[in-house]
Amino acid sequence: MKFFLDTANLHEIREAVELGVLDGVTTNPSLMAKEGIRGLDNVMAHYRQICELVDGDVSAEVIATDYDGIVREGEALAELHPSIVVKVPMIRDGIKAIKYFAEKGIKTNCTLIFTAGQALLAAKAGATYVSPFVGRLDDIGQDGLQLVEQIVQIFSNYGYPTEVLAASVRHVPHLIQCAEIGADVVTCPLSVISGLLNHPLTDKGLATFLADHKRVNA
């Protein structure tokens, strides 16, 4: 399973790269705003910086919601760096644009997926990734992981090459269950990846090992 970091924060990206387990990055307009990145030139420069830090796909989201605008923005993003994946919202013109990008060999990530039908449509249009939002479905009392499971099953039934990128992954159990289900990718904050390191018995066991070593080597 690939680990993507869901952030536009360069320090967090550097930290995950240093850990040696990062396969890519996803961003969205909210995450860019959180870092205070504004203005087209700054946005483009920031994406370039992210691409230079990470050896893997970097999702950069279009703002336009009409076909011509999505195509124009997506082509400009794709020209920035070979790692760029154009993130396109799950809307009618988005699906048409994904088809266009697929024919041109431009990678896409269809975002804001909340049903298996939306995922199927994006796969048929040729999306490279679909992003079901696990946490946001949980937030409204639905089962986000069940959606991931459904999409994995459907894509496997028909051999779609589209990868299931579980997004809005909020905590370690989410990530582990995505791995059990067979999601191709999870994208999450650094805290979730760091959370995989932890268990109190690991800390306790290490403290005992070191204390015993010190006792006989003092």
If one asks whether residue 108 binds ligand G3P (CB under 6 A), the answer comes out as no
If one asks whether residue 136 binds ligand G3P (CB under 6 A), the answer comes out as yes
- Candidates 72-80, 148-156, 166-174, 177-185: pick the segment binding ligand G3P (CB under 6 A): 166-174
Residue among 135, 138, 184, 195 that touches ligand G3P (CB under 6 A): 135
- Candidates 144-152, 167-175, 196-204, 206-214: pick the segment binding ligand G3P (CB under 6 A): 167-175
Contacts of residue 202, Cβ cutoff 8 Å, sequence gap at least 6: none
Q: Tell me how far apart the alpha carbons of residues 160 and 57 are, in angstroms, rounded to a whole number.
A: 19
Nearest-approach distance from CB 216 to ligand G3P, in angstroms: 49
Nearest-approach distance from CB 2 to ligand G3P, in angstroms: 14
Residue among 49, 170, 172, 184 that touches ligand G3P (CB under 6 A): 170
Look up residue 211 and give its two tokens.
């204390």
- Candidates 17-25, 78-86, 163-171, 198-206: pick the segment binding ligand G3P (CB under 6 A): 163-171
Nearest-approach distance from CB 212 to ligand G3P, in angstroms: 43
Q: Tell me how far apart the alpha carbons of residues 136 and 170 are, in angstroms, rounded to a whole number.
A: 9
Nearest-approach distance from CB 196 to ligand G3P, in angstroms: 18
Which among 56, 17, 11, 57 is positioned nearest to 35, based on CA atoms? 11
- What is the binding site for ligand G3P (CB under 6 A)? 6, 26, 28, 133, 135-136, 167-168, 170, 187
